Structure 1
Amino acid sequence: MDHVRNILSSLKGRGAVFFGGYALYLVFSFMAFHSATLTSVSLAIGHDGNVVFSASAMAARIGVCALCVGVVWRLGTKGRLAAPRPFEWTLLVAAIAFLLGGMLVLAMVASLADAVEASKITVWLGVSGALLGCGDVLVTFLWARFSATLDLRQVYLYVTLCNGASLVLYFVATLLPGPVVLPLAAALFLASALAAQRSLVLRGEEDGGWTLDPTVARALFRDLWHPILGTTILCFMGGLMLQISGLQDISLGTFQQTSLWASAAAIACLLVPALVVRKLPNLTRVYSVALPVSAAGFLLLPLIWNAAGGIVNAFVQVGAMVAGIILWCMLADAAHRTRTSPILLFSVAFLATSAAQLAGTLVGWVNAETLRQGDLALTAIALVSVYLLLLAAIVLFRNRSGAPGAAMAEEGADLPVTPEEALCQRCAVLAERYGFTPRESDIFLLLAQGYTMPAISERLFVSENTVKSHVKRIYQKLGIHTRSELIDLVNQAGD
């Protein structure tokens, strides 16, 4: 456990703020978007109203993420991405403004729901969901920027612990009376947003620390598309299951308790590698657990429907939650290693996962009334869903042990190499061609992988000046002057 204490002590004040603030954000997110807690303030809202609220929030997140991708990419390609400190304050102020607007509209809906016709209530629910969705994603960007200042082990430990702490806080929130739900949610959001801003101030880094090299960004997305795809599929399945598993026939309290226990079990399993194992496992392998868990939920769907307090839905939602945690860590680590803008990386990932969840929600909502326990259509949906999950598993893990390539290996056939292996091979060829020393070869490979000089210094346990000297000699031998030229040269070596 010494390595855990070392991690905790290395973060000091900023880690404490991150732990408390991010956990509060997760509680708000559970209350607002992952259950009907926030909209349960009025019985008149009903299931259709909840769907409109959630779908509007997802659509708003998609719009904000798409806008951020376009703006960050445009600024980055023009060399104007280095944002001053006011950028973070802009995110904070905008998030709080959206929150206050969304909460006021939702409070109005709750007070007038019994006296106003349903169509007008639905419109205002959509407005409230959209405002809260915008505020939610902006605060998420603040936490993403902070997460990218941590190394992989640190961000994995803290994100997992925050998810565990948030479950405890959420359980307490479910025991509170209805009138305090909206004020409590607003207070949690405000506290989290302010903690996020404070964490960024405490990180001790200079403004403008993030960059955007289009070549490096494209290389990162080539490496990250597998986990993004896996999480996207699970988010679609989660949105679909939430609508077709008969949850409208389960009380809110029962649904909350089932989800809490299932999520707590998953978080406990995720904490084991961080607390016990000194070497953090390959995070992409966690998907090999998340996918079967979700598949089990769909296989049980035609049999037990909404029995056991919605346990079928809990299986699928836990799979999506685990995949989301791992994807968050991988995105933060990629930004940390390469100094690529975390706003860009997280925006692309959130754009894909939110769109998938919205699609699953709408498909399930449209067909929910036509499906009943034991229906042939429901059985078909379950089997097709499992089939899609199995296809995803084949795509995500085909180059790993136990995947389809394993049989070829036993027969002595040539196996397709992974992108990482291909990159190493190209770098090795170039290193031999240009007469690199062993240390230059190591640094050359890390440069091609997108590592910054400070990250290389930390990884190889040498000073940054030493790294700069080696990089200068590497550039001289290659006859180039920039990182982009180096990456282009490595890519051309594979043609």
Structure 2
Amino acid sequence: MKVDAVKQPETDGTPFSFRLLGIGFWQAWWMLVLCTTIVVPPDLSFLGVRPSVWTLLFTSVGFALAAAAAPRVGSFIERASMFKLAALLCTVGTGACVAMRSFSGHDALAVLLLVFLTVAAFGNALLLVMWGELWATLATDRVSQYLFSSYAFAFVLFFGVQLLPWMVTAVLVCLLPLASCAILYASRDETRRAPSAADFAVDRPLVVKAMGAVVVAGLAYGIAQSFYANMASLHVAEGRPDLLVAGACFIALAAHIAFERSAAAPIAMYRPIVPALSVGLILFAILPLAYGYFGNGLIIVGGYCLDILIMLVSADLAFRARRSVALFFSCSILVLRLATIAGLAVVDIAVGRGVVSAESQLHLLAALAILVILVGTLVFSQGELQRFYQPQPAIRENRDLDDHCRALSERCGLTAREAEVLVLLASGRNVPFICKELCIAESTARHHVGSIYRKLGVYDRQGMIDVILQS
């Protein structure tokens, strides 16, 4: 009598790639530039606006230049010269600012410091665009886990570097972007996904709604940060306790994502944004100024989650549409940066002219909280985000479902096991059934489901079915 071979349980075959946390070195450097006095003196200002606002503006110009060059250059990440240029601009610009910091009292040197800030900001834009190009092509289902973990790691670096002697701290600040460039270059051999085999609809009104929501969130974030810097920070103990609160939240989010392993990375990134921004604004408005850092910490969490959501979604949309990732990515980040700059600059100028009172600050923050809630629930909600990943509906009855799945598996580079899981998913089977049928652990099954969704360019079962029917 013939006995069938016993199927052995499988384990998740994709170990955590720590080098994909390399964007955390970039984020830590960017926080040290914007949120400390290591690179830019605290008493320096131009036209009544803080240097951090100018740095954001120059970075925005850098994104605009990247978007303009994208059609001619193609993929930045495929050109070794771009890594050298990004590393050179970031490192030299930062190093020159640190070296000139003690001479900030001289007007001529202050202008020169502004020039070197521009150099570093341009390098920052180029480096971030190349990270976006990498995220667009990764085949792993751990994208949300990597991004949240990277930002949590950045907070650890941010505080850890400042505990060292000043000279060591200054050197490390200059080397952080260099380390990020080197890790990004080494990460180019990570497993990549093939371009999506599906046709996706471009809903222009949806894009307009998304940009409107980004503008509102960017304005709220910029206004809150300016209020904190101009008013609340004067009553807070030395240091950045708001960033400590934000770092603790990101560590908790990273742990939650690692445990949950959700296949829908954009949804996982979207969920904290509205609660963090709105609750943070309310706490900032009602708490005494000495405790305003609790609210601002949550606002920073919401702002950073919005950052990584835009990074991922814009890169995903460009990759699926076979368009320039650098162009889509740069334009999307540019919209957010300009909105943030507007919020920062308006409040800076208003405070400088003495037209903002404590009462008006309270009313404005409360109004912003209400506006964020309304926009996040009525204008651009989680449902609208899912529509970005909705393929063109297709119904065909002239071929068997297995044939559709087989053809799609070949076109999208699915593994043999993923192809089996795809057939079961398309047949309406759930994860527990798949585990029993294939003798695999639930974590392994969820890994396969997430990997299938990632390679197909979708994040739910309905989108998967539409892609299958198109094949």
> Do these two structures clear the TM 0.5 threshold for a shared fold by scoring above it?
yes
Question: Does the alignment pair 1:254 with 2:245?
Answer: no
Where in structure 2 are the equivalents of 1:169-184 lying within 5 Å?
169-184=157-172
- Which of the numbers 289, 297, 309 marks the counterpart of 1:306? 289
Unaligned runs of 5+ in 1: 10-14, 401-416, 463-489, 491-495
Say if 1:3 and 1:37 are closer, same or farther in 2 by CA, change over 3 A.
Answer: farther
| 1:133 and 2:116 are equivalent in the alignment | no
Find runs of 4+ consecutive structure 1 residues off by over 6 angstroms.
Answer: 47-50, 215-218, 220-225, 419-422, 440-444, 456-460
Which amino acid in 2 is paired with 1:8?
Answer: P
Letter in 1 for 2:94: M
Task: Name the structure 2 match of 1:243.
Answer: 226
Letter in 1 for 2:239: T
Aligned CA distance change for structure 1 residues 269 and 127 (closer, same or farther; 3 Å): same
Corresponding residue of 1:396:
380
Distance 1:422 1:98, change over 3 A: closer
Structure 2 vs 1, CA of residues 328 and 253 (structure 1 numbering), >3 Å: closer, same or farther?
A: farther
C-alpha spacing 1:210/1:313, structure 2 compared with 1 (3 Å): same
**In the TM superposition, what is the alpha-carbon distance from 1:174 to its structure 2 partner?**
2.2
**CA 1:62/1:258 → structure 2, altered by over 3 Å: closer, same or farther?**
closer
Q: CA deviation at 1:28?
A: 0.7
One-letter code of the match for 1:18?
L
Residues of 2 paired with 1:129 and 1:58: CA distance? 10
Of the three residues 200, 203, 211, the one matched with 2:190 is 203
After superposition, the C-alpha distances for 1:216-238 in whole angstroms (9 at most, x for unaligned) are 79838877666665444333222
Q: How many equivalent residue pairs?
A: 409
Closer/same/farther in 2, CA of residues 399 and 333 from structure 1, 3 Å limit: closer
SS in 2 for 1:219: coil
- Range 382-391 or range 182-191, more displaced: 382-391
Pick from 400, 403, 411 the counterpart of residue 453 of structure 1: 411
Q: Which amino acid aligns with 1:175?
A: L
Confirm or deny that 1:7 pairs with 2:7: no
Q: 1:285 to 1:187 in 2, by over 3 A?
A: closer
In structure 2, C-alpha distance between the alignment counterparts of 1:314 and 1:299, rounded to whole Å: 12
Measured at CA, do residues 304 and 6 of structure 1 come closer, stay the same or move farther in structure 2, by a change above 3 Å?
A: same
- Conserved 8 A contact 1:58-1:130: no
Instruction: Say whether 1:346 aligns with 2:329.
Output: yes
Q: Give the letter for the 1:181 counterpart.
A: T
Q: Which among 412, 423, 434 is matched to residue 392 of structure 2? A: 423
Distance 2:121 2:296 in 1: 23
Structure 1: distance between partners of 2:27 and 2:259: 25
Alpha-carbon offset, residue 305 of structure 1: 5.2
Contact 2:224–2:365 (Cα < 8 Å) also in 1 = no
1:194 to 2:182 alignment:
yes
Equivalent residue, structure 1, for 2:36:
36
Residues 6 and 210 of structure 1, relative CA distance in 2, 3 Å threshold? closer
Shift, 1:203, TM fit:
3.2
Structure 2: stretches of 5+ with no match in the other structure: 1-8, 421-465, 467-471
Cα separation, 1, equivalents of 2:140 and 2:205: 19
Deviation sequence 1:358-392 (CA, Å, 0-9, x none)? 111111211224366642x2233123312321331
CA contact (8 A) 1:242 1:364 kept: no
Q: Against the structure 1 CA distance between its residues 105 and 84, is the aligned structure 2 distance closer, same or farther, given a 3 Å change threshold? A: closer
Secondary structure in 2 aligned to 1:7?
Answer: coil
Aligned to 1:161: 149
* Residues 162-217 of structure 1, C-alpha deviations (whole Å, 9 max, x = no match): 222222121111222434433211111111111211222x33779xx889x9x979
Shift in CA distance, 418/235, structure 1 to aligned 2, threshold 3 Å:
closer
Please tell me whether the aligned partners of residues 302 and 378 of structure 1 are also in contact (alpha carbons under 8 angstroms): yes
> Would the aligned equivalents of 2:63 and 2:126 in 1 still touch at CA under 8 Å?
no
> Partners of 2:252 and 2:48 in 1: how far apart?
30
Report how far residue 320 of structure 1 moved: 0.7
2:252 is aligned to 268
TM-score, structure 2 as length reference: 0.73
Determine which structure has greater relative contact order: mean sequence separation of CA pairs < 8 Å that are 6+ residues apart, divided by chain length: 2
Where does residue 24 of structure 2 map in the other structure?
Answer: 23
Query: Which whole-Å CA distance do the structure 2 matches of 1:38 and 1:440 have between them?
Result: 61
> Residue type of the partner of 1:254?
G
Q: CA deviation at 1:110?
A: 1.1
Does the 8 Å CA contact 2:195/2:319 hold for their aligned counterparts? no
Higher helix share: 1
8 Å CA contact 2:91–2:177 kept in 1: the answer is: no
Aligned to 2:345: 362
In 1: Cα distance, 2:348 partner to 2:201 partner? 36
Aligned match for 1:327, one of 310, 313, 321: 310
Any conservation in 1 of the 2:245–2:297 contact (CA below 8 Å)? Answer: no
Q: Distance in 1 between matches of 2:290 and 2:50?
A: 26
Identity over aligned residues, as a percent? 17
For the 8 Å contact 1:259–1:314, the answer to whether it is kept is: yes
CA RMSD in angstroms, aligned pairs only = 4.1
- Correspondence for 1:383: 366
Cα separation, 2, equivalents of 1:46 and 1:304: 29
| 1:22 and 1:143 in contact (8 A); partners too | yes
Amino acid at match of 1:304: L
Task: Tell me if the contact between 1:210 and 1:340 (Cα under 8 Å) persists in the aligned partners.
Answer: no
Do 2:277 and 2:298's aligned partners in 1 also have CA atoms closer than 8 Å? yes
Contact 2:223 2:347 (C-alpha < 8 Å) held by counterparts: yes
How far apart are the structure 1 equivalents of 2:332 and 2:10? 31
The Cα offsets for residues 222-272 of structure 1, whole Å up to 9 and x where unpaired, read as 7766666544433322221111231451568432x3312333223413431
**Deviating more after overlay: 339-348 vs 316-325:** 339-348
1:452–1:420: structure 2 CA closer, same or farther, 3 Å change rule?
Answer: farther
Letter paired with 1:423: Q
SS in 1 for 2:310: helix
CA distance in 1, matches of 2:331, 2:201: 12
Instruction: Note closer, same or farther for the CA distance 1:183–1:389 as it changes in structure 2 (3 Å cut).
Output: same
